[in-house]
Chain A
Amino acid sequence: MLERELKRGSAELLILALIEERERHGYDIGKQIEERSDGTISFHITSLYPTLYRLESKGMIEGRWVEKAGQRRRRYYRLTPGGRGTLVRQRSIWQNFAKAINRVAGIKHA
């Protein structure tokens, strides 16, 4: 239970953070997570799309089909203002959480 919730929370944070820089399509997001997390966060690629759709239905991100020259038509995702606010808050909560955990348990911030 705890593990699952933690994963979901962190996955959402990661996705929001990734598309904050620029809009990305699903394959790109999956690839970026794998690369950036360097294997420490095990993110199953099958849960990527459910997570995207959930974020989309919550209104935090929005997707649209884009055709670029010489490329296939792809669905790109970008952050909504609501998603941006959530990201800011989630970041600070995670920071607080990490600090709190650190205080309570003496774990060093990675």
Chain B
Amino acid sequence: MRDRVRAAFVNVDVDPDVIEELAQHAESTYDALRADGISEAGAIARIDQLIEGWRKDPSSLRRAARRAAVVVPPSTSRSFMSGAAADAIYGLRLLRSKPGYAAITILTIALGVGAATTLFSVAYGVLLRPLPWANAEGLIRVSETRGGKEGRIAGTMLNSTYLAWADSPQTIASIGAYRETPMTVTGLGDAARVNVSAVTPSMLQMIEVRPDRGRIFTNEEGERGKGRVAILSRGFWEQRFGGQDNAIGQAIVLDGTSYTIVGVMPRAFRFPSAEAQLWVPWYVQPIDGPGGVKSGTIMRVLARLKPGVSEAQATAEGTARAVAAPDAGFLSMALFGAKDPIQVHVVDAKEAAAADVRPAILALLAAAGLLFLTAIANVANMQLARATARHRELTIRAALGAGTARLARQLLIENAIAGVLGSMAGLALTIALHAVLPSVLPAGFPRVDAITIDARVLAFTLVLSFITSVVCGVLPLMHVRRLELAQSLAHAGAGSAGAGRSRVSAVRALIVASQVAVTCVLVIGGVILARSFTAQISADRGYDPRNLLTGTIPFPLSYSVERREQAVMRVLQRLQDRPGLTNVAVGTGLPFVSSGGFAAFSFASPLRGGEKVDVETIRRVVSPGYLEALGIRLRAGRALTSADTEAAPLVTVVNRAFVAKYLDNIPIERAVGLALGNDAVRIPGGRQVTTIVGVVDDIKQDRPDEPPQPEMYISYWQQRGVNFGSQAIVVARTAGDPRQYVETLRTALREEDPAIPLDAVMTMDQRVGNSLSRPRMYAVLFLGFAVFAVVIAGAGLFGVLSQSVSQRARELAVRTALGASRASVISVALKQMGIAMIAGVAIGLAASAVLSNNLSPFIYGVSTRDILSFAIAPIVLLIAGAIACIVPARRVAQTDPVQVLREI
């Protein structure tokens, strides 16, 4: 019999020990059968049946574990490095064996790391990176306030202060000023507008720029009438002069005046912004011009501190110089809205460059940090879940002799692999984002070219990667500490470790709660910013931006005042005949483009018995139809008409703020007909009384939250000889889509003079949209982070619940079998997570109440404690939570208790 068995298992992969055991069994069976009186042939037939049965599945006759692949022998090497390498290979193999899990882990880390790294690179580049000029440290931005008020353009100073300080200063080594001034270039193909920067020669010397070709400006070229020279940007030189060396010494015509090209800047030179194409010297005129005319300019100024001088010392000297400077007179009121006291302010130039985006960048950086934490929490949670599921494997390895330290290293290395791969993917994401960043960031966003991926950014990614790996690796170690072989093996199917389970699930509940809290903060922030953005879009700005086409007409400086007037008149006449244009007008002002001019005068107030009232007001010179074209609402009296000519009495339309401030806030109807004295409008050849004929609503120049300013509208036809300055703003209300009429406007101008380009053509809706590009970006980014966080938290919750349900399947099945209703069983499964979620939401709401204050610098029309935003977040989270719960809850509800109990 024994030989029969042995013969049957020749060439079959079965242990000789097993064959021996089976052979003995066959022999005993044979003996028993014979003893029962079965014939020899019959007994042998029964034995052959038995052998055939065993042979059917030889693999079941192996004593070694059949699923050996799950557990590889631990590294036997004593060397740490070779052991770590083995662990790394094992970790990679594990990741590959679960591609779905690996993909989710790596993707989650990648998005978290990518968002945080990108925001860090933006924050570092814009806020911290040194300015890209030689010896940029020690550069300061100087500005002044008068009566605590900044100039019409924030961060500027008056020419009188500048000149007073530039004259042999004590605390600063040098001082320079610049301004951006678009000009028309002619003689190089089509007339075109170029971005010209007027700089004092001292400015270029101070930032120590070395031109690629030629030279920078000499001090002499900064003197009156001597600055007919220009330096080209590298791009402009290549584009317009084909990169030819003979460009130096050639002439270029800007606004009708010839300039000699003296140099070409390096490609990397971007001052004051990346848009600069040309530089010309700036002659800063004194405030007291010839003939007693005050000539004020507000200017952007940089200076370099002398070594060892503090900012406070510079501030003191600057203020003393400003006070001692020639009196600015009414210009101080017109440009600053106040006269005294004068105070000079000194700020680090780098800080000043990004001051207006700093709060937003910091808020977004914080949001990205929170998102990163949520992502990491999720990965940690998944690792914890997997470690629980892998408890058996770890136990066996412990039983095979792997020490706790050994297993800890294994887990850490495994998670480090996921962390490193995820961080690499995150870095790739950052690089991809950097490629699109310049086009995504709003126009005028400061220091965009300083945002790069460098060693610091890489180091930051490395730190994130390290944090990820450690956080994800440490939590699963909780399991290593309680490896009880027998217990674990006995529970093989249940995949849990008894007592350890409640502690692990408590940690997981804590992770879910913190994820929910973070998500709550992000959702509330995102909703507040989104509501602020929509509030700014729909805000009443006092005019109607729809169906409104706008542009500027830059007249050549060579045009005389008369020629300009005639040109404007003829262009308007031509346009008034064109179909589709309901109202066409020109003016000196337009929201987002120019306030239109300032005026300061006095009049004897009829409301105060002739008492003198000092007025500082915005004064716009407009053609009749301007108010109608812009949709500015007339509230009393009449608008300006074509009847208001030189021959007619001087009239003006004022706004409500003017009435409120200078006419004692009388009812606006009563303001109509009041006289503003002889000085409100200056006309050539004599003084005349100006009478108010109408009152309109206030309009917002730039931001919907700016305070209303007094405004006057004067008819262009009564201001002959005063003129528009070098450019007129044209506005056209259209019957349909305003973009269809761009060519109509261009044609009308070309017919007048082919040398006049139509500049800055845009619909008013586009101007409003552009002005909101920052709020829009902040809202989109924040909401994007919030959505991502909701998905992450939802996935985390789903994972925890699914696993908790499968771990507690037995308990839940027994409850069901013992008569518990499905609903009560489901509620048992969801209770812990429900508590975690509610706690998370509560913490999130409380944290938001504190944190949302940081949003106040850049929100409009919505409170940082906005009830709706605070209500939406919990609702969104509860919906996401409910979705995450549906599948595990259904699983509980549909569980067949018999099946669950049988599987134990």
Contacts and interface: CB of A to CB of B under 8 A. Distances in A.
B59 to A, nearest CB: 9
A75 B904 contact: no
Interface residues of B, number: 39
Interface in A42-87: 44-47, 49-50, 53-54, 56-60, 72, 74-75, 80-82, 85-86
B489 A50 contact: no
A26 B486 contact: no
Contacts of B819: 103
Contacts of A41: none
B53 A45 contact: yes
A100 B817 contact: yes
B50 A97 contact: no
Interface in B663-707: none
Contacts of B485: 59, 82
A27 B489 CA distance: 27
B492 A97 contact: no
A49 B54 contact: yes
B818 A100 contact: yes
B901 A85 contact: no
Contact of B18 (A45, A47, A49, A60): A49
A100 B901 contact: yes
Contact of A57 (B25, B64, B486, B898): B64
6 contacts: A27-B25, A46-B53, A50-B57, A57-B64, A57-B66, A58-B489
Nearest to B53: A46
A110 interface: no
Interface of A: 2, 5-6, 9, 25-27, 30, 44-47, 49-50, 53-54, 56-60, 72, 74-75, 80-82, 85-86, 89-90, 93, 96-97, 100-101, 103-104
Contact of A46 (B18, B54, B818): B54
B855 interface: no
Given A56-B63, A85-B487, 19 more contacts: A2-B902, A9-B902, A25-B24, A46-B56, A49-B22, A53-B18, A54-B60, A58-B492, A59-B489, A80-B486, A81-B486, A82-B486, A85-B490, A86-B490, A93-B901, A96-B901, A97-B901, A97-B902, A104-B897
B400 interface: no
A57 B817 contact: no
A57 B65 contact: yes
Contacts of B63: 53, 56-57
B29 interface: yes
A103 B817 CA distance: 8
Contacts of B57: 50
Given A49-B61, A59-B489, A30 B818 contact: no
A108 B50 CA distance: 36
Given A57-B64, A72-B24, A85 B53 contact: no
B85 interface: no
Contacts of B818: 100, 103
**Chain A interface, DSSP helix/strand/loop, else mixed:** helix
A47 B66 CA distance: 16
Interface string B38-60: 00000000000010011011001
A28 to B, nearest CB: 9
A80 B485 CA distance: 12
Interface in B1-44: 17-18, 20-22, 24-25, 27-29
Given A46-B50, A57-B64, A26 B817 contact: no
B420 to A, nearest CB: 36
A44 B21 contact: no
A71 to B, nearest CB: 10
Contacts of A27: 24-25, 28-29
Contacts of B898: 97, 101
A82 B490 contact: yes
Contact of B814 (A30, A56, A80, A100): A100
A50 B53 CA distance: 11
Contacts of A9: 902
Nearest to A101: B898
Contacts of B492: 58
Contacts of A56: 63
B817 A104 contact: yes
A103 B816 CA distance: 11
B815 to A, nearest CB: 10
B813 to A, nearest CB: 9
Contacts of A49: 18, 21-22, 25, 54, 60-61
A14 to B, nearest CB: 16
B454 interface: no
A59 B486 contact: yes
A81 B29 CA distance: 31
B167 interface: no
Contact of A50 (B61, B65, B897, B902): B61
A46 B49 CA distance: 9
B743 interface: no
Contacts of B56: 46
Contacts of B60: 47, 49-50, 53-54
B62 interface: yes
A44 B818 CA distance: 34
Nearest to A54: B60
Contacts of B489: 58-59, 82
Given A81-B486, A89-B490, A5 B21 contact: no
A93 B18 CA distance: 32
B903 interface: yes
B538 to A, nearest CB: 63
Contacts of B487: 85
A6 B61 contact: no
A75 B21 contact: yes
B718 to A, nearest CB: 98
B486 A85 contact: yes
Nearest to A53: B63
Nearest to A50: B60
A50 B487 CA distance: 23
Given A58-B492, A81-B486, A100-B814, A53 B901 contact: no
A105 to B, nearest CB: 9
A45 B56 CA distance: 13
A17 B752 CA distance: 110
Contacts of B50: 45-46
Given A2-B902, A27-B29, A45-B50, A74 B24 contact: yes
A74 B902 CA distance: 33
A43 to B, nearest CB: 12
Q: In this complex, which of A53, A54, A82 has the most chain B Cβ atoms within 10 angstroms of its Cβ?
A: A53
Contacts of A45: 50, 53
Contacts of A25: 24
Nearest to B58: A50
B68 to A, nearest CB: 10
A26 B25 contact: yes
Q: In this complex, which of A6, A45, A60 has the most chain B Cβ atoms within 10 angstroms of its Cβ?
A: A45
A50 B64 CA distance: 11
A66 B904 CA distance: 33
Q: In this complex, which of B25, B62, B63 has the most chain A Cβ atoms within 10 angstroms of its Cβ?
A: B25
Nearest to B60: A50
A60 B489 CA distance: 9
B98 to A, nearest CB: 24
A93 B492 CA distance: 16
A25 B24 CA distance: 10
B825 to A, nearest CB: 14
A93 B904 contact: yes
B71 to A, nearest CB: 12
Contacts of B66: 57
